[in-house]
Structure formats: C-alpha cells, structure tokens
Amino acid sequence: MKTIAKIIQGKYLDSVKLMLISRKLREVPGVEDAVAIMATEENKGILAATGMLVDEILPAKDNDIVLVIKGEGDPEAWLSLAEDLLSGKNDKHSGTGKEVASASLESAINHLEHPDICLISVAGKYAAAEADKALDRGLHVMLFSDNVSLEAEFRLKQKAISRGLLMMGPDCGTAILNGVPLAFANAVPRGKIGIVSASGTGLQEVSVAIAHQGFGISQAFGTGGRDGKEEIGGIMLHACLDHLIHDPETEVIVLIAKTPEPKVLEKLWDQIASTPKKVIVNFLKPMETPNLPNIEYCHYLDETAAKACLALSESSPYPLSIPSLSSYVRHRMIEGRKGAVKGLYSGGTLCKEAALIYAETFGKEPLSNLVKDGPNRVKDIWNTDQDCFIDLGEDEFTVGRPHPMIDFSLRAKLIANEGKNPTTTVILLDVVLGWGAHPDPAAELVPVLKALPERIKVVCHVLGTDADPQQASKQKAALEAVGVKVFSSNHEAVDHALAILAEGGEES
Amino acid sequence: MNKIVLNNNKPGVINIGLEAFAADLRAQGVEVVNLDWRPPLEVDPAALTRMRNAREDRLAPANHEALEIIRKGKPFLVGMGIARDLIPGMHEDLILHAGPPITWERMCGPMRGAVIGALIYEGRAESPEAAEKLAASGKIKYAPCHEHSSVGPMAGIISPSMPVFVIRNETFGNQTYCTQNEGLGKVLRYGAFAPEVITRLKWMEQVLYPVLSRALAHLGKIDLQSLIAQALHMGDEVHNRNRAGTSLLIRQLAPAILKTMENVEESSAVLDFINGNDHFFLNLSMPASKAILDPARNIRNCSLVMVMARNGTDFGIQLSGTGDRWFTGPALVPDALYFPGYSKADANPDIGDSAITETGGLGGFAIAAAPAIVQFVGGNASDALNYTNLMYEITYGESGAYQIPALDFRGTPLGIDVTGVVEKNIAPIIDTGVAHKNPGVGQVGAGVVKAPTEPFVKAYEALAQLIID
Amino acid sequence: MLKRMTTAEPRLLSLGGCAKPGVYEDIHSRFSSVLNFIMGDRIVSLCDASHAPGPFRIITTGLSLEEITAVELSDDLLRLNASLLPVIVSDIYQPPVFTEPTDTDLLQRNLCLSSKYLSQHASSDSLPVLLSDPASAPLSFQGQLAQSLRTGLDLFSLGKYREGTNAMKRRGMGLTPAGDDLLIGFLIGCSWLEVTRKKQLSKIRECVYFAALDNDLMVNTFLYQGYALLVDEDWVDFLLDLSRSEIFSYRSMDRLMGHGASSGADQLLGFHQAVKLFGI
C-alpha cells in the first residue's frame, strides 16, 4: 500500500473542483482512498488515523490544499492524472501543443520553431493563392483542396520544384512526412519503404499493409490525382521519386498511380532504371512494364505491399519472416448463382480495385459509378438488382455533405435500403480508419447492420492499425460481434464477398 | 532537376482550413499553428500582381521614409485663434465638416443639424427653418476639415467664428486646427441646434476661448505628445477614453488660468467646464495625430494611410502615394454596444474625423492600453490585447513615443499599410462612439468597429496603377 | 471578436449591510464567480448574479470579475477599478427580523419534510449521507471523519458543547471543511430557535461560536453569520418557508443544496441537529 501527497494550487480551485478530482482519483483501479482537503491540524489528525499522513504533508499550512492518495499501483501515474484534472486537460485531444492561431502567414511562421509545411484545405477558388503565398515563403505545400485549375496546378508545381519544395495535390488527402501522418493518414511505424502515390486511399492501404507485416515507411508523398497528365508532366511524381532514390533512409520504393501519360511514363522508367533500389509499381490495372531488374509490377494493393516487404527482407542481412501472398479465388463462373453483391465504398481506389477484382473473377464489369456513362454506369443506386460498386466519395455524393470517411449517414441509409432488396445477398464495405477519419465507424454501422435480414452477408475491409486513434482491432471486434466478416486487406475482403456470391449465398 | 529539400525534424505545420486537421496534429504532439484565415478581398488581380512585385523596390523605401517622418513628429499646442483668421482657405460662406467631401443633399441627420446650428450661431439665420433654407441654397460651401488642415469630431462642423486650437508639429513646422470640445448630450456635434446649444457655443467663444488663450500664452506651449504618452500609461487610448488626458491637461492649465485670471467667475466656470467633460482632450489628440501624419503626405509609391474619416454617409481614406484623392465607400452602422433603450436601428452610420487617432497609432490601435474601455464596449481585458495585436499585422511599423505598458511598453501599431489591409483582409479597427441618427439626441452607444474595406480596395487599386512607372 | 453583451453596463444588484465603507485591496481568494476581500477580520465577497445577496456580499452584474483588483465603497458610490456604480438605499441588503410562527404544527410538519428531503437528496459526498451510514469504511478519510463528527454530536447531546465543537471543527473536505459547515448550520439553528421560538440558547450559542473560531477568515465570517443570524438570502428563504409555507416547496432547499460541493447540505444537517437537540 502506497500513499502519495502533494500540496496543490490552481486558478479558481473551488470545493466542487476538489471534490471532482477526489472522485475521479478514487475511480482509478487500485486507489483505495483519495482526498483533496485543507491541511488543518484536525484534518492532519484524521490522515494520521488512516495512515495517510505522509511526510510531504507535514510542512503544509492551515490554508494549503493538499491532495492525498492511497492505494496499490503507480503513485506517479495518480499524480499525473491529478495534474491533468487540475489543469482541465480533459478534452478529446489532450495534446501537448498549445493552441495557437495567427491572423497572417507571416505571424504563423514566426510562431513555429520549424515552419516546414502548409496544409491547405480552404475552398478551391482561394486555395491556389494560399499555396502560392506559402511557396513564396519557402514552405512545402500539401494542397488538400480540389477545384483548382490545371493551369494553376502546373504553375504551382513548377514554382515549388524550382525552390526545392513539395507541392502535393491538389486533391491530396494523404501524406506521411518524417513519420507524421498529415490529413487522412494512418499511424504506421517509421521504416525503409518510401511511397509516392497519386491516390490517397491507395497510399493508406499500402502503408497499413506494410505496417501489418512489421515494416515501416520512410516517407509517403501524395502527388494529387492529375500529376501524371501531360499538362502537368508528372512534376511531383518525378521529383518525389527522385528524392526517394537518393534518400539514404529509403531502401525500397513504391509507386502508385493511375497510368501516367506516355511522356511521363517514359521518364519514370528512365528514373527507375537509374537506381539499384527496388521499385514496386502499381498503376491500378494490369499492364506490361519494361524489363528492368529492379522493377516489380502488380496491380493489387496488398500485393504491392507484400512485394515491397519481400524486397526489403531480401536485402536485409538478417533472415526475416517472408510474408506470404494469400492465394486468391480466380475465375469462378456464375452458374446458377443467386443474389447480388453491393459494394458501398468510401475510398475511391479501393472501390476501383474491388471492381477490377470482380471483372477478373467473373469476366465482366460490374455496375458502378466509376464510369461516367455507358452500359455499366449504374442508373439508380437505390434500386438495383445487379452487382454494383459505388464510390461514395465521388463528387455527386459529397456536394453539401461531408466525405463518407467522416460521415456515415448516407452509407447507413444505403445499407438499410439493401436490406429491403430481396435480391441482395452480400454487402461489401470499407471502413477507413486513421487520423482525419470518423472516431468510431463501427458504432455508426453496427445498428443498421444488426437490423439486416439473415439472408444478407456483410463483408468489411477495415483499413487501419492499432496505433490509429480508432484502434483497428477494436473496430474489428465490434463489427464481428454483429456477424460481419472482417478483413484487413481490400483484396481479401472482395475475394471473400465474391466467393460467397459464387457459392450461391453460402459462406465458403 | 531541382531536388526536394526535406528537413529531418518532425515537421512544423501551418494549417489553413479545416480545424480538425490541426487538432489531430496537436494530439500527436506536432507543432501546428492554425491560420485564422478569411477569404481575400475581391481585388483586381492585375493590381495584386503589380503591388506584390513592387513591394520590395518601390513600396518599402517609400513607406520607410514616411514612417520615419511620422515618428519624428512633435505636436505642440501653441495657441488659439478664430477659425476665419487662422484656418487656411476659410471664408464667410464656408462650413467645414468631418469626413470626405459631401453635399448638403447627402448629409446625414446629425450633420445637417450641426450645419443648421452653426448658421444660427454665425447669425446667418434667425430660425432653424431659415438656416435650413440657407444651407440648401447653394450659397454656403462645404468642404472637409481635412482639406483645410483641420479635424472635427462627430459632425465636425467648423464655421468662421469658432475658436480653434492651433497645434504645430515642431519638427516640420506644419499646423493643424480643431475646435473646443462642447461636452456630451445636446451638443452641436451630435446635430443639436436648440437655443441652449447656441448659448453654449457663444459662451465657448466669449469666455472659454479667451481664458484658455491667455493661459496658453502664459505657458508658451503644451507638449501634446508627452501628455498622450502619459495618458496611454494611465488607461486612455485618447479616442473613446480621454479621462487621463483631460486630467493631465487641466493640471497644466489650471495654474496658468489662475495666474492670467481676469475674473473669478469666468475662470471658475472654465475649470468646471473642462472638469465636467471627460472628452475635452479629444479635440487635442485628434489634431495632434493629424499634425504628425501630414508631413508624410504625397510621398510617391507610399502605401500608408494618411487619413481615415467619416461624414456619417461615406467612409473615406487618403494614401500618401495617391495625394489628395479620396477613396470612399458607404459608412457602416456600427455593430457596437448600445446604451439601454437603444439599438442598432437608432444608430447613425459611422461619423467623425476622430478616426485620425487610429490612423496615428492611437484610439483602437492603442486599446491594449485601455482595458477599461473594452469592458465598457462589451469585451474583456484580453480582447483589448487581441485588438492591438491584430493591428500590428497591418501597420508598417510602430510608434516610438506612444507605448503600451501591457505589451511590455511596445510602441503602438503605426503606419496603416493599405497592402496589409487588402492582402490579409484585416480591416483597421476604430474605437468609436455612436450617434443617434436623429439630430440632437446624442450618443447612443460605443464600440470597437471595423472600417469598411471598400475604400481600401479602391485606394490599393489606384496606387497599383500609379506604380507601373 | 467583436462581441456584443446583452446586459449593457455594470450594475450593482445588492450591497450587504455589513460591508463597511472603505477601500478593499487585500484579496483573500479568487474564484470564477467570487472575489473575496479582507475587511478587518471578516471577508467581504464581490460576486456575480449567480450568488444570493447577503450581509457580507456585493452582488454585481455586467462586470468581468477577473479584472477587478480593488473595491472602494463609500456611502453612495461603489468603485470597482474603473467602474463607478451608484449605491441607493434600496440596494442595501439586510436580512429580515424573524418572527414567531403562528402555526407551530405547520412548522413541525415542514421541519420533518425538510429533514426527510435532505436525507433523500443530499449528494453522496455530503455529511447527511455519510453520517447516516454506520458502515462507512473506518480506515478511509471519510470514515474517520464520520467517527469524529458522530463523537462531536454525541458530546453535544451530553451538553458538552466546547468539547463537541472541538471534535468537529476544521475537519473534512472542501475549502470550508465539512465539520465547519455543520457547525455553521448548527449555529443558524440555535439563533433561529432563539429568535422565533424564544429558546434560551444564548450561552450555548456563544460557547459553540467561540470554540469554533479559528484562523480562517472566510469560515469565521460564516460562523459569525450563523451566530448572529445575519444569514444570506437563500437561508432567509428557507427559514421563511419553514414557518409559513402551507405546502413546503423544497425549492429553497434545492437552492441551498446547490452550494459548493456539499456545503449547503452539510449546513442543513447542522441546522436540523440543532432542531433535534433543542426541539421547537
């Protein structure tokens, strides 16, 4: 049994606060007694009678307030909690930084010891000007905003590169710099694999898969979705790739993008040829690559991560466990198959990957909103009897509404709607965790999932780590508790969902 | 190709936009500052480019020069006289008013009332109706006080027979003028023209002025910069709060009044008058501010603001680099704290030349020295500091003479730079009283209000045009 | 940033009749809604409108108490830093003179209802709950406290008021320790019974009061208020309710029990102890 005591002070420390602190401390497991009292002689007498009169209290004067805690456990931790309670650090994000706001870029820069990067998420029409100002001041830029013109993007990227600065975006939602996740990104360990990605969720999926296999990320740059277009000329793709090629902390490089346009592609192959470092390339669809000794190409995100880890462990002098690539179900034919699968996605790249896997499995495209028109364009997402994959992050769903990674109301409605559709047998979901995302997606989904009829099987890909604020394993457990089959890889989840479908609604 | 240069440390982040991103970073122990961002003003993009390019080579040296001139100024109260004798360009049919140029037709209620009162005081009309007819007839000319080296609070009416203070900037020799402050309530500057107003004006001409004039002659001169600096240490900001300034002034004047006394009753009445008027000093702090700013006018490429003034209809500014041009926009009805029984619906749009104090680094800009007044207008002491701190963002430099104890005696923000106002979308704040829109009612509120941005955008674009050369 | 207050200017709501003219600059303690000044050997509290008027309180509104550093009180003017507030006679607070209740059955009934309400609604950290539970863990702080207080109350019932007071004073949680609150309530009970029921309790009252005094000015002020029945408005409401209310409303008890962490409830317990001991 230990007793610890401290004379405490605080602004406006009144009886109510003292009582609340005592109560909160008594709730800590192991604490037997905790009181915040005036150190009068009489109170000291009571403390003596209960064996709580420790030396720290003896010099306290009559009108000092003293906090005494007795129990089994770590007294330092109790005191630390007491400090927090005294200073009112009890909000959601009890960070170490103090909140600073500035009225101008100049004074903001002056407030920082290391002003490095400007994260811009204001409306598109103002965003380019802000990025311009930031670059002028020598700051890297992460441009989360979209609705920025191609011309502005080109101009900004040129300016950036001429000053040795990053201009990630527009529409760049994910980056990890020097181990710090920026905007929508996951808490992954630092390590030797560097990523350049034109896709946010692609970056998230690969970085998390790498983390799950015990490896880490040196840097993860986002380039924005249009960098590979000829008008932009792949400025950031090239510059970031170049950086990773020369970065001593990076041993293996991952490159994810929609297929860049020919001139950009040429230059990328040249760059890759110039380095001995292994580069894992994923352009999100099957294609042929030049025969270079250090290139590995794959069009699945989990495979990308696996190959990167494999490349790293091969070059490591120590024997590491080799991550195995799971075997996937291929080419099941749809004979007498009952029911339909509905994919309701918040991550665009994950949705595209799902549609791709579907096409490879069944030999035809599913309905989706991934195409703008044509026979595979879904007409009415509330009324479809066929297999259909929806990217809820597309503009048509996000006008006037928060992104589905933050707000689950639309998805919940769609899930409930599928429950009423007698042809639906499988629902496929992604739950993207990490900084920036909803603090408890499982809590949002569980009620509507519980209400689904027996006939519908739900498969979910939870993208995240246990270091993320939501804690991936907690989310997984909550979803599994209502009968959801959870996978940590998009590929595995999709495969499983399609397998259920091919088996006619039975789980394989 | 140019290489990307990344430092090794945990990145320090400036967040512009979604606050959640900053909160997340803070929770991870990352150094982050949230930019209190507001959308930029709508400005001609060509003007923006021109001004940005001219910032270092053209604007900076000119602004530097102007700021030095302003800082060197030494305003003294050197004497008094009658407007018609002293104010340059004054003549029998001229009435000076606050704010940018305005015609009788466009004048607001309080200003019209003040003009009527002035005409009766001058003996040009027997009744308010006759005065109004005369005012509208075209015979009477109107001009801004500022265009005649003068300033006036609220309606700011100066007519030929009114006594004025003479303030001289001893460093450069230029002079400015202002009438004696009448007090609160039913007074000319709020548009009152009842017989008691005229009576008081006569008393000020026949008693107050001679007594003060003799006292001043005896003293020689009064160092206004010193008084203002001391007043700032005593809780004044010398626009909306002048109690300390008035006290310091009366301390200097009282012995001199006694020594030059001709008549006990009159001297006594004068001392009572000043004693009962907490804002007496305002009519000295205003011309003192103008006196230090005027020598910095007409400097080519200078983007500093020389005048902010309102006539109750328009809000007008002048820049050093654009000469005598006025840039105007509608004067706004202040979002202020209203006295019990009154509301914004009763208020007159912003009026008076008193914004010259802000232009000179005082008033709202020095409000960190006057936390009491912030309380009075609905804020708390830290609001006072925040207001002043925000103004440093838009001024070119700081005052040498006027310091704020609460900011470790830092000089007040001095030299409003129109580029700061426009490019950062931070409007100057003005600590002002609010007049009732009907003439003669008086003050109905007080508050710290933002200047409208339209005049600043116009001035900015105009200056940009001039800089191509 | 540009705020607008709906209550316009600073106003004085109530000036305690025991607050003497003078300058108060010595600050005893400061809280978010109260600023306590030292006035000789008493405390005068400058409070916002969330507090009830009282003989030692100055209640204002429209002021930010954080910035006040000094108070100057003259016969007709209250100066708080830069704010000048006129004082008029009707602002001055004096508790009323309590009179004998006309209906003692009503009084008895209300006292019972009040005692029951107290035991049902007092918070778990307060003395009414603590003392009613004989099994509170003896080795905890609260357990030992309970023992001391029970001892004190037993001594009271044996007529040993000085010893009883010494067994209870300066003990317990809170800036005014719970034992002191009990004694304050006990004194209020004694002085009220004396005035309204003509009980001969002056010697007992004096004995408890002088034994309870110690070196905390705030507690001493409260003890004095109890001893002299110069109570704050919320106690006045409660006492009047007891004597007069046909239907006892508990509203005045809720207001008292909302004080501090358990202060009000502890004082009410002391009050009821006095009533139990001396009867009406």
User: How would DSSP label each residue in A102-164?
Assistant: ESSHHHHHHH-SSEEEEEE-S-HHHHHHHHHHHHHTT-EEEE------HHHHHHHHHHHHHTT
Would you place residue B411 in the very low, low, confident or very high pLDDT band (cuts 50, 70, 90)? very high
Is some CB atom of chain B closer than 8 A to the CB atom of A242?
Answer: yes
Q: Please report, for the domain that includes residue A453, its CATH number.
A: 3.40.50.261
Domain boundary among A59, A87, A115: A87
**A189-216 per-position pLDDT tens digit:** 999 999 999 999 999 999 999 999 889 9
- β-sheet bridge partners, residue C80: C71, C83
How distant is the Cα of B35 from the closest Cα of chain C, in angstroms?
Answer: 15
**Average of pLDDT values for A28-41?**
89
CB neighbour list of residue C162: distance below 8 Å, 6 or more residues apart: C207, C208, C211
Length in residues, chain B = 469
Would you place residue B104 in the very low, low, confident or very high pLDDT band (cuts 50, 70, 90)? very high
Computed over every residue of chain B, the mean pLDDT equals 93
Length in residues, chain C = 280
| pLDDT for res B396 | 96
For residue A220, being part of any structural domain is answered with: yes
Could you list the residue range(s) of the whole structural domain that residue A372 is in? Answer: 327-502
Residue to substitute from A13, A46, A57, A61, interface C, most C β-carbons within 10 A: A46
Is some CB atom of chain C closer than 8 A to the CB atom of A15?
Answer: yes
> A178 with A264, same domain?
yes
pLDDT of A323 above 80: no
**B331-378 per-position pLDDT tens digit:** 998 878 777 778 888 899 999 999 999 999 999 999 999 887 776 666
Would you place residue A508 in the very low, low, confident or very high pLDDT band (cuts 50, 70, 90)? very low
This prediction has a pTM of 0.60
> A362 with A436, same domain?
yes
pLDDT of A124 above 90: no
- CB contact under 8 Å between B340 and C9, yes or no, is yes
| pLDDT for res A315 | 60
Length in residues, chain A = 508
> A300 with A165, same domain?
yes
**Average of pLDDT values for A451-477?**
94
For residue A98, being part of any structural domain is answered with: no
Would you place residue B237 in the very low, low, confident or very high pLDDT band (cuts 50, 70, 90)? very high
| pLDDT for res B375 | 66
**Judging by beta carbons within 10 Å of its beta carbon (0-12, 13-18, 19+), is residue A378 exposed, middle or buried?**
middle
Listed range (A15-24, A128-137, B340-349) with the worst mean pLDDT: A15-24
Nearest to A67 by CA among A90, A43, A98, A101: A43
Is some CB atom of chain A closer than 8 A to the CB atom of B53?
Answer: no
More confident residue, A501 or B248: B248
Residues of chain C found within 8 Å of residue B235, distances taken between Cβ atoms: 82
DSSP string, B222-285: EEHHHHHHHHHHTT--SSS--HHHHHHHHHHHHHHHHHT-S-HHHHHHHHHHHHT-TTTTHHHH
More confident residue, B385 or A141: A141
Would you place residue C89 in the very low, low, confident or very high pLDDT band (cuts 50, 70, 90)? confident
Domain boundary among A52, A87, A122: A87
| pLDDT for res A429 | 96
Question: Alpha carbon C25 to chain centroid distance?
Answer: 24
pLDDT of C136 above 70: no
d(CA B41, CA B315): 18
- CB contact under 8 Å between A37 and C143, yes or no, is no
Residues of chain B found within 8 Å of residue C60, distances taken between Cβ atoms: none
> A348 with A491, same domain?
yes
Is residue A287 classed as helix, strand or coil in its secondary structure? Answer: coil
| pLDDT for res A93 | 32
Domain boundary among A87, A121, A136: A87
pLDDT of C2 above 50: no
| pLDDT for res C88 | 77
pLDDT of A322 above 70: no
For residue A507, being part of any structural domain is answered with: no
- β-sheet bridge partners, residue B94: B141
**A234-270 per-position pLDDT tens digit:** 999 999 999 999 988 899 999 999 999 999 999 999 9
> A285 with A188, same domain?
yes
Would you place residue B45 in the very low, low, confident or very high pLDDT band (cuts 50, 70, 90)? confident
| pLDDT for res B379 | 67
**Average of pLDDT values for C9-32?**
88
Give kind and range of the element (H or E) at residue C65: none
| pLDDT for res A232 | 95
Q: What angle do CA B117, B121, B126 make, to 5 degrees?
A: 85
Listed range (A119-128, A484-493, C77-86) with the worst mean pLDDT: C77-86
**Average of pLDDT values for B51-59?**
89
Window 425-444 of A: residues touching B by CB (8 A cutoff) are: 435-436
> A58 with A119, same domain?
no
- Work out how many domains chain A is built from and give that number: 3
**B415-433 per-position pLDDT tens digit:** 999 999 998 899 999 999 9
Structure tokens, C124: 């778990």
- CB contact under 8 Å between B17 and A105, yes or no, is no
Residues of chain C found within 8 Å of residue A50, distances taken between Cβ atoms: 139-141, 143-144
| pLDDT for res A328 | 45
ipTM: 0.83
Would you place residue A504 in the very low, low, confident or very high pLDDT band (cuts 50, 70, 90)? low
**Average of pLDDT values for B243-261?**
95
> A344 with A287, same domain?
no
> A178 with A226, same domain?
yes
Residue to substitute from C140, C142, C150, C257, interface A, most A β-carbons within 10 A: C140
pLDDT of A398 above 60: yes
For residue A43, being part of any structural domain is answered with: yes
Would you place residue A319 in the very low, low, confident or very high pLDDT band (cuts 50, 70, 90)? very low
Listed range (B29-33, C8-12, C77-81, C155-159) with the worst mean pLDDT: C8-12
For residue A99, being part of any structural domain is answered with: no
d(CA C111, CA C81): 45
| pLDDT for res A95 | 36
**B167-201 per-position pLDDT tens digit:** 999 999 999 999 999 998 789 999 999 999 999 99
- β-sheet bridge partners, residue A485: A459
| pLDDT for res A88 | 61
> A235 with A278, same domain?
yes
**Average of pLDDT values for C23-47?**
91
**Average of pLDDT values for B42-52?**
89
Is some CB atom of chain B closer than 8 A to the CB atom of C67?
Answer: yes
- CB contact under 8 Å between C64 and B375, yes or no, is yes
Sign of CA pseudo-dihedral C114, C120, C126, C131:
positive
pLDDT of C122 above 60: yes
**Average of pLDDT values for C142-150?**
92
Is some CB atom of chain C closer than 8 A to the CB atom of A50?
Answer: yes
- CB contact under 8 Å between A103 and B31, yes or no, is no
> A305 with A336, same domain?
no
In the numeric block, the tokens 């920082």 are attached to A112
Computed over every residue of chain A, the mean pLDDT equals 87
d(CA A66, CA C99): 44
**Average of pLDDT values for C197-218?**
93
**C178-192 per-position pLDDT tens digit:** 999 999 999 999 999
pLDDT of B286 above 90: yes
Would you place residue A331 in the very low, low, confident or very high pLDDT band (cuts 50, 70, 90)? very low
Q: Please report, for the domain that includes residue A13, its CATH number.
A: 3.30.70
| pLDDT for res B347 | 92
More confident residue, C78 or B227: B227
For residue A16, being part of any structural domain is answered with: yes
> A60 with A6, same domain?
yes
For residue A318, being part of any structural domain is answered with: no
> A83 with A129, same domain?
no
d(CA B236, CA B362): 9
Would you place residue B106 in the very low, low, confident or very high pLDDT band (cuts 50, 70, 90)? very high
**Average of pLDDT values for A162-188?**
94
How distant is the Cα of A324 from the closest Cα of chain B, in angstroms?
Answer: 33
The HSE-up count of residue C118 (CA atoms within 13 Å, CB side) is 29
For residue A92, being part of any structural domain is answered with: no
